[in-house]
Structure 1
Amino acid sequence: MLTAGVDLAAEPKGTALAVIDWSGTAATVEVTLGVPDAAIARVAPDVDRLGIDCAFGWPDDFVAFVTRHAEGLRVDGGGAEGLAWRRRLSYRATDRVTRELTGRWPLSVATDRLGLTAMHCAALLDAIGEALGAPVDRAGGGTAVEVYPAATLRGWGFDTRGYKNDDGVREALLDRLLARAPWLDLGSTVRQLLVSSDDAFDAVIAALAARAHALGRTHPVPRGYRDQARREGWIALPVGRLEELAPQGARRGEPG
């Protein structure tokens, strides 16, 4: 099995791609920084899952609100709902479920700084769809799946405070991760890259989340949300333990 992870930025300069090969007794990792969409699309047909750290779509209510406003029609002002109404426009169904599962709101694709990257993601999903020969299922029913590295790490029991902005914190977090996943073969060059670059680090976590999804170890889209998830996207949050992702050979002491 091969899985890939993308830490997407608004521009290729800040985008990182990680590919993990799970076929042996160790999971070997390759990471590339400054990755253009064409390179990501080329990888897509060769991997079992491709985890992308970015919202795959916008909230249905937000799209309807903007569309009505653009057409000069009266918009729903929310009446007395206030903050609840604004949150309904700001957050997708998957964001609300993620809040219930993790206790934290993801960034809003409609109102936070994630918007520019989501515009990039929409174009990337088109390129991936062309490479795969079919449109991407934003609900995660195909190769590409939306992931959330920080929530993934917290779900596996790691403290993520400060890891995005501090090399020392990131190195300590990496040490804790490798202590629980000794089968993750980074090599000295990739290890140093993960310490120096939060983009590279998140790309690897995205590839691990993609592995969890491929093994059926993520929360499924709840019944009744499937159609909405195909439009808005759906975050694949892992269930179970990081250790359960180990290559077959590492678990059984035989070739994977």
Structure 2
Amino acid sequence: MSDLPMRTAGVDLAAENKGTALALIAWTPERARLEQLTLNVDDAEITDAAAGVAKIGIDCAFGWPDEFVAFIADHANLAQPQVPDGRMAWRRTLAFRETDRHVREKIGRWPLSVSTDRIGLTAMRCAGLLGRLAASGLVVNRSGRDGVVVEVYPGATLRLWQWEIRGYRTDPQVRRSLVRRMQRDAPWFDLGEHAELMVESTDAFDAVVAALAARAAAVGRYEPPPSKHQERAEREGWIVLPSCALGALLSPPHASERPLSYTVT
């Protein structure tokens, strides 16, 4: 058996290299250490990192809703869509993926829509990145069931952990309090020289949370897509939501462990 530590990576992806951050965490049975935290990362750096980890969590939608893809194809072919009664409900099938509906059930909030919000620009980059990862020889399964790549959502992860995150993306002092919370909840997690960068940069902070969510996927502490949604998840993507608190990520799951639940207030 190898004595090498497990490694997970996290990427806070932006439409350009600027705003993209990469985190790398090494895990042993006793400790975890933040080995690398880098800003302004390009696709080649992400591909290199993915080759050396058990899981890499990317904060970006991996695909578009099936209904949206069909709608755009029909529109391009000059077909007239049949809009059912309840037009807003129908439009939401175009705007949100099955995994987005799952996240809303868990945390009481809709993720941003890959079809209608500006994150679509980042998703275009992500589609190319996933192709590059596959071309490098890595297994890419958008549902996260197989392969090295998983879709993550740091904001939802933090809400499932019941952390107070209001304003964390814009206020460094909120991020400072969250870094302190991270150190309290996971005293085994050594942030090394990178703690201050997590305070200074939202992108860096989210990349670390993405790498922690990737660890949840690597050790099976998350809810995979239900079998009835598996094929859809392989096209649309599936967001990994950790099923345990941060402090439990170091140890293997127990059969009696109950998944996290989020109280909507």
Counterpart CA distance in 2 for 1:147 and 1:58 is 15
1:159 shift after superposition: 1.3
Match runs of 1:102-251 below 5 Å: 102-134=107-139, 136-141=140-145, 142-187=147-192, 189-246=193-250
Amino acid at match of 2:218: A
Q: Greater CA deviation, 192-201 or 39-48? A: 39-48
Q: CA RMSD in A?
A: 1.2
Deviations 1:200-250 (CA, angstroms, capped at 9, x unpaired): 0000000000001111101121120000000000001111221111268xx
Deviations 1:75-120 (CA, angstroms, capped at 9, x unpaired): 13x2321210111110000000111111110000000111000001
1:11 shift after superposition: 0.3
1:199 shift after superposition: 0.1
Q: Greater CA deviation, 21-30 or 144-153? A: 21-30
Number of equivalences: 245
Deviations 1:13-72 (CA, angstroms, capped at 9, x unpaired): 110000000036331111011110011111112100000000000000000001100111
Counterpart CA distance in 2 for 1:243 and 1:234 is 24
Native 8 Å contact 2:29 2:250 kept in 1: no
Native 8 Å contact 2:144 2:224 kept in 1: no
1:127 shift after superposition: 1.0
Q: Identity across aligned pairs (percent)?
A: 54
Partner of 1:34: 40
Higher helix share: 1
Partner of 2:68: 62
1:132 shift after superposition: 2.9
Q: Please state whether the residue corresponding to 1:117 is helix, strand or coil.
A: helix
Gaps of 5+ in 1: 249-256
Amino acid at match of 1:140: G
Partner of 1:251: none
- What's the TM-score once normalised by structure 1's chain length? 0.93
Native 8 Å contact 2:142 2:150 kept in 1: yes
Partner of 2:91: 86
Partner of 1:252: none
Native 8 Å contact 2:51 2:138 kept in 1: no
Counterpart CA distance in 1 for 2:50 and 2:137 is 7
Compared CA separation, residues 247 and 33, structure 1 to 2 (3 A): farther
Counterpart CA distance in 2 for 1:83 and 1:221 is 26
Counterpart CA distance in 1 for 2:135 and 2:47 is 8
Deviations 1:156-206 (CA, angstroms, capped at 9, x unpaired): 11111100000001101111121001111112x301100000000000000
Q: Please state whether the residue corresponding to 2:25 is helix, strand or coil.
A: strand
Counterpart CA distance in 1 for 2:135 and 2:7 is 20
Counterpart CA distance in 2 for 1:46 and 1:2 is 7
- What's the TM-score once normalised by structure 2's chain length? 0.90
Amino acid at match of 2:225: V
Native 8 Å contact 1:42 1:131 kept in 2: no
